[in-house]
Amino acid sequence: IDKFKRFFLKSKRSFRRRLPPIQSGDRIDYRNTSLISQFISEQGKILSRRVNRLTLKQQRLITIAIKQARILSSLPFLNNEKQFERSESTT
């Protein structure tokens, strides 16, 4: 019986909680490209909330800011740097 109970008990691991990437003083704005670029993948995609470790409200503000920055051409829609490197080496 003791072995059976021990199987269902969770192990008590100590873990250090990660600090949120956006502090309370940071303004989420389309002009703040250094902050926005942290939440974009290498391909130019917006990263998910789980990966970013943001709240729902912060993620919404980030996506709106990224889209505004893309429209105003301060951020690229696609990040094709690797493709250009390949095409140059073949020619």
Annotated domain spans of the chain: 33-79
Q: Which two tokens stand for residue 57?
A: 């409200």
Summarize pLDDT for 54-87 with one digit per residue, the tens.
989 999 999 999 999 999 988 888 876 655 455 5
Q: Which of 21, 17, 86, 74 is nearest to 51 (CA)?
A: 21
pLDDT at position 10 is 62
Give this prediction's pTM.
Answer: 0.66
**Partners of residue 46 on adjacent β-strands:** 40
The answer regarding whether domain 33-79 maps to CATH 3.10.20.30 reads no
CA distances from 83 to 41, 61, 73, 74 (A): 16, 30, 20, 21
Asked if residue 89 has pLDDT above 60, the reply is no
Report the b/e string of 38-62 with b at 16+ CB within 10 A.
Answer: ebbeeeeebeebeebebeeebbebb
